[in-house]
Amino acid sequence: MSQASNPIGVIGTGTMGAGIAQTAAAAGWKVKLFDTDSERVNQAIQSVGKRFDRLVEKERITEEQAELSKSSLVAVASLDELHDCDLIVEAIVEAFDIKSALLKQLGSIAPSAVLATNTSSLSVSELGSASDVADRVVGLHFFNPAPIMPLVEVVKGEHTSEQSVQRAALLAEAWGKKVVQASDTPGFIVNRVARPYYLESWRIVEDGYATVNEVDEALQLLGEFRMGPFMLTDLIGQDINVATTQSVWERLDKPSRLAPSHLQTSLVEKNHLGKKTGRGAYAHDDNGNATPAIIQDSCELELSDVLSNAINSFCLEATCTSGTPLAKYIFSRVLVSIINEALWAKSEGVASEQDIDTAMKLGTNYPNGPFEWTERIGMEKVLELLVALNQTVDDGRFEAPPSVSLATP
Ligand SMILES: NC(=O)c1ccc[n+]([C@@H]2O[C@H](COP(=O)([O-])OP(=O)(O)OC[C@H]3O[C@@H](n4cnc5c(N)ncnc54)[C@H](O)[C@@H]3O)[C@@H](O)[C@H]2O)c1
């Protein structure tokens, strides 16, 4: 694949498409952009152009580089003009029938192109089968904002050829991205393994043990997470976060671990979606201040000796910072749930330990990967805590995958 001669195509030039086009153009690729709404293409080219100008102002790139990158972005009026592309990325609306029809059309227009989908929640295998060009359909899952987020999950569908996967991965790497390989499973790596960060936090508040700000503070202080789960979901949008949970949970056959939180769902029903509506887990004022907005009956935390010991020995190894018993409880319950989800994902062949760690650090800014944490804490202590927590619930959601339990004496 020579950088100079073969363009790439981007279809759907909204948030993600514009970001992907910027990423490829910045790396020297000619990018052909198509959208059913031609105005969106012009807007994307203009806004990406402005972003290049800002990079010049910040002295991150030269004026010549900016001009070159801008001139690499070409609007096309029909899909036929993508016939000479090496790779075509679709970032159109998240709808199976529309995406598969488009991929099918591209299969004949661009007979040698790798056809990449940026889907977050659809099956790459099913998209491939429905498009009749399954060997060339690959998942290339960028994160928002695409020019800044360093991670791309490359997803091989059931019938995707190894060559298509390699070509897509090599291109993403050539654009400066860190690539991880994920199997075609719900949520791939990041959107699955991150679920317990939100869900177990919501459940702690549902239990009445802590307020949203207490949970946020404990995870930032003891876990060194950049942002607490409640402030983060208020930024993402509670509706978007619930929709991802719902989709991953349903597609994985509804494991209790990943069941949506009643409290979070009720916020969405009340249109308390977070920052964008002024109220979510917090009430946000115009000056950027946030005050906890969820009132729950509180319930005193009472721990059995077994659970208390398990938490203390988990925290002793996991964190350098001391905290209150409540903070330790919050941190250890949430972190061990993330680790457990990573163990389940690995046991189901979603990705390697290394790729799961890389994905969680680069896709969600976690300070450590779940397997790095496990290495530091020790698997025995992780399992001890899971067993002790499992005794406090009636849905068995802290159960470790059988392969892990069996491997441990
Ligand atoms: N927004 C995110 O944070 C994010 C992150 C990762 C992946 N994704 C995925 O990326 C894709 C795009 O998401 P987005 O947020 O950029 O959406 P968006 O709504 O911002 O943009 C979608 C664009 O696709 C165009 N479009 C719709 N149907 C089309 C068709 N048949 N042919 C050509 N263009 C068409 C629309 O006009 C629009 O400009 C989705 O599959 C989404 O799941 C989104």
Query: Could you tell me if 180 and 219 lie in one domain?
Result: no
**Neighbour-count burial of 75, counting CB atoms closer than 10 A to its CB (0-12 exposed, 13-18 middle, 19+ buried):** middle
Domain end residue (candidates: 184, 215, 250)? 184
Residue 409 pLDDT level (bands cut at 50, 70, 90): very low
Catalytic: 153? yes
Share of the chain above pLDDT 90, in %: 95
Mean pLDDT along residues 251-269: 98
Assigned domain for 378 exists: yes
Distance 27 CA to ligand 1 centre (A): 22
Query: Could you tell me if 169 and 205 lie in one domain?
Result: no
Q: What is the pTM of this model?
A: 0.95
Assigned domain for 158 exists: yes
**Neighbour-count burial of 288, counting CB atoms closer than 10 A to its CB (0-12 exposed, 13-18 middle, 19+ buried):** exposed
Per-residue pLDDT of 173-210, as tens digits, reads 999 999 999 999 999 999 999 999 999 999 999 999 99
**Neighbour-count burial of 375, counting CB atoms closer than 10 A to its CB (0-12 exposed, 13-18 middle, 19+ buried):** middle
Share of the chain above pLDDT 70, in %: 97
Catalytic residue among 69, 100, 118, 120: 120
Evaluate if residue 2 carries a pLDDT over 50.
no
Residue 321 pLDDT level (bands cut at 50, 70, 90): confident
Tell which one of 120, 240, 364 to mutate to probe ligand 1, the residue whose CB is within 8 A of the most ligand atoms: 120
Instruction: Measure the CA–CA gap between 242 and 202, rounded to whole angstroms.
Output: 11
Assigned domain for 126 exists: yes
CATH of residue 136's domain is 3.40.50.720
Instruction: Measure the CA–CA gap between 15 and 338, rounded to whole angstroms.
Output: 29
Length of the chain: 409
Query: Could you tell me if 21 and 128 lie in one domain?
Result: yes
Query: Could you tell me if 99 and 222 lie in one domain?
Result: no
Domain end residue (candidates: 168, 184, 200)? 184
Residue 322 pLDDT level (bands cut at 50, 70, 90): confident
Structurally, the chain folds into a number of domains equal to 2
Assigned domain for 3 exists: no
Closest CA to 312 of 298, 299, 296, 329: 329
Evaluate if residue 342 carries a pLDDT over 90.
yes
Query: Could you tell me if 109 and 33 lie in one domain?
Result: yes
Evaluate if residue 3 carries a pLDDT over 80.
no
Take atom 6 of ligand 1 and give the residue whose Cα is closest.
143
Take atom 10 of ligand 1 and give the residue whose Cα is closest.
91
pLDDT, position 404: 86
Take atom 25 of ligand 1 and give the residue whose Cα is closest.
12
Whether ligand 1 lies within 6 angstroms of the CB of 67 is answered as: no
Domain end residue (candidates: 184, 217, 251)? 184
Evaluate if residue 5 carries a pLDDT over 80.
no
Structural domain containing residue 326: 192-407
Instruction: Measure the CA–CA gap between 284 and 311, rounded to whole angstroms.
Output: 34
Per-residue pLDDT of 35-87, as tens digits, reads 999 999 999 999 999 999 999 999 999 999 999 999 999 999 999 999 999 99
Query: Could you tell me if 27 and 140 lie in one domain?
Result: yes
Instruction: Measure the CA–CA gap between 194 and 197, rounded to whole angstroms.
Output: 6
Instruction: Measure the CA–CA gap between 64 and 7, rounded to whole angstroms.
Output: 20
Tell which one of 76, 93, 192, 232 to mutate to probe ligand 1, the residue whose CB is within 8 A of the most ligand atoms: 93
Tokens of 71: 């001139």
Distance 93 CA to ligand 1 centre (A): 4
**3-state SS record for 332-389:** HHHHHHHHHHHHHHHHCCCCCHHHHHHHHHHHHCCCCCHHHHHHHHCHHHHHHHHHHH
- DSSP 8-state assignment for residue 74: E
